[in-house]
Amino acid sequence: MKITLDLSKLVEDGKLTPADAERLKALAAQETGHLGLNILTGFGVIAASAGAVAILLTAFQFTAGSAAIIGACVFVLGLALLGMRGEVLSLLSQTLIIIGALTGAGGLLIYDDGSLRAALFVTAVFTGTAILARSSLMAALAVVSLAGCLGARTGYVHAMYSLSIQEPTLTIVIFSALALALYLISLRVRADYERIALTAARMAIVLVNFGFWIGSLWGDRLRLWRYWTANDVTGGPNFTARGAVIPDWVFSIGWAVALIAVGVWGVKAGRRWVVNTAAVFGGIHFYTQWFSILGANAFSVLLAGVILIAIAMGLRAFNRTAAAKSA
């Protein structure tokens, strides 16, 4: 569990000695350095995997199936090196496992036209890879892959990004339950696996908020997402039976209540990431509903800014009061 401490303030208040403060600073600097390297490695692995699939399919004219097989071989090689000792071999093993899993998954999804069975298999492989390689990156990607099984998509057109959540209600229910389960698991496992479980839980929380966001704008018809089989003529995804419509205002109110409840719990439990996430999506929710009702004009922008500043000042006063009571 990670917590936030103001070392200078604690030293001034006599609750921490200067020597202890310096020791904590050194430990924090080491942790920050590891975090930076992990982020850099993660981006590099994703880029290398995407480039490997592209090169295999274009330059060498490999089929998607061949790319999947090559990725699987790299994955197995990484597993073979997993038990060997040494920091270099350990890093090489984890890198090969992740690159193999990503390359193989990309090839499989292309080969099977992004079918549901392929997406489920990729989710299972990513989950296993996260546990074997102790990779937070793969844990997050496993949750994203699971969202893809429900039709979640992202897209990019020139200077425009898009987000698609086809099943807002199912996304909220499934990933809320998943986040809770992963959090409970994190309380009962070792530190390495606690980190993996918390990363996956955090990604699930983000997807829950995405589900609320889309639902608050367009509601939900409770359509059951599926994929066309290879025998279909048109190809591509399609919707099945339509159910009763859940109006957008249900999601708007439910999202606000959930954000407040989760934010309060995060404050009491000392979960900084949860509090920050609730605050960020609270701001997104506020601005989304505000401008969708009033529109974007000078008055609405000014009033929205004033209201958010007032809320921030109120939260700051609340935090000072809570800190004084706990001192």
Which range, 146-150, 153-157, 177-181, is most confident?
Answer: 177-181
Q: What is the pLDDT of residue 230?
A: 40
Enter the tokens of residue 213. 């966001």
Amino acid, single-letter form, for residue 17: T
Instruction: For residue 2, name the pLDDT band (cuts at 50, 70, 90).
Output: low
Q: Which one has a higher pLDDT value, 267 or 242?
A: 267
Cα–chain center distance at 57: 29
pTM of this structure:
0.74
Q: Compare 38 and 112 and report the one with higher pLDDT.
A: 112
Q: Could you tell me if 101 and 125 are in contact, meaning their C-beta atoms sit under 8 angstroms apart? A: yes
Q: Is pLDDT at 226 greater than 50 in this prediction? A: no
Residue 94: exposed, middle, or buried by beta-carbon count in 10 A (0-12, 13-18, 19+)? buried
Tell me the pLDDT band of 234, cut-offs 50, 70 and 90: very low
Report the range of poorest mean pLDDT among 88-97, 130-139, 227-236, 310-319: 227-236
What residue ranges in 53-199 does DSSP mark as E strands?
Answer: 153-157, 160-164
8 Å CB contact between 277 and 202: yes
**Is residue 27 very low, low, confident or very high in pLDDT (cuts 50, 70, 90)?**
low
pLDDT attached to residue 3: 61
Q: What is the pLDDT of residue 35?
A: 52
CA distance 88 to 85: 9
Computed over its alpha carbons, how large is the radius of gyration of the chain? 23
Using 50, 70 and 90 to split pLDDT, how confident is the model at 227? very low
pLDDT for 228: 38
Res 236: pLDDT: 43
Which residue did the predictor score with more confidence, 65 or 250?
A: 250
